[in-house]
Structure 1
Amino acid sequence: MAEQIKVIVFALGNEEYGIDVDKVRTIERMMPITRVPKTYSFIKGVINLRGVVIPVIDLRGRFNLEETEYTDQTRIIIVAVGEMEVGFIVDAANDVVDLDRDNIDSPPEVVGGVKAKYLDGVAKVGEDRLLIMLNLAEVLSRGEMTHLEQLED
């Protein structure tokens, strides 16, 4: 029997993405973000979440997708990347699905404008739904991670 994983589904534009639920700490509504000077353009700043300072990244900016206005559906997904927590701004986070690991294929070179290095694979959900699985370790380079760790201090 295939190994099952639970995945949080979120949207960026017309594409649906997935993050292993074990990596997700919490999903929050948009909140005030404190800008930080001299950071990468896709790093929107930091938030104070229950006394913890967390850097926030706009995934649209990270993936070179057109940025849009935030709406009532916009969410910040707080994930664990290595030893730190990072917030990802997404258009919506609205589903949790169970996947068979066997249904996750290697990613093509580019999916929805997102380079393959950021992806773990493409998962088939049901007959006609595809989920793009994010590789959190690749979404941020080592240099960017070091930069974010300095923001927390």
Structure 2
Amino acid sequence: MKWVSKDIETYFTAKEYVDTAVIPLISLSFGNELKQSAADTEFITLLTNYLERQFTGRLLLFPSFTYLKNNDSVDVLSELKKWEENIEGNEFKHIFYITSESNWKIHESQLAGSLIWLPALPLEHLNDSQKISIIESQVKQLLSLFTHKWQENL
């Protein structure tokens, strides 16, 4: 389910089955890093949207946690932990953070949720069917990770 009115309405009726939150972590950069920032965002957005379609009814795709890349990492982490506390307090058993920013790996142990870091694949010069093929391949690799985490808590 996505963070849209119709899906949230469905979420309320099937809350007991939706135990997983997926949060894309998106950094914004400007200047020389603007193009890479946009490419990373495109990749993570396509990936998480496709992931949501694969697990509709089991997970809720939250809006992206977006931050300025040059902000102090302690402040960014503190803000993300506020999100985490609220999400955990609202009956989500699993939280997955998905990002292309490798510096999140440094903070992984401070998060209650599972961090998935994937380097952004360049999609800029691909047609839509090629993009879908690449994203499908990435999502297939994530499927086992998600199911493993779910089975750990049975």
Q: Which has the higher helix share?
A: 2
TM-score interval, smaller chain:
under 0.3
TM-score, length-scaled by structure 2: 0.25
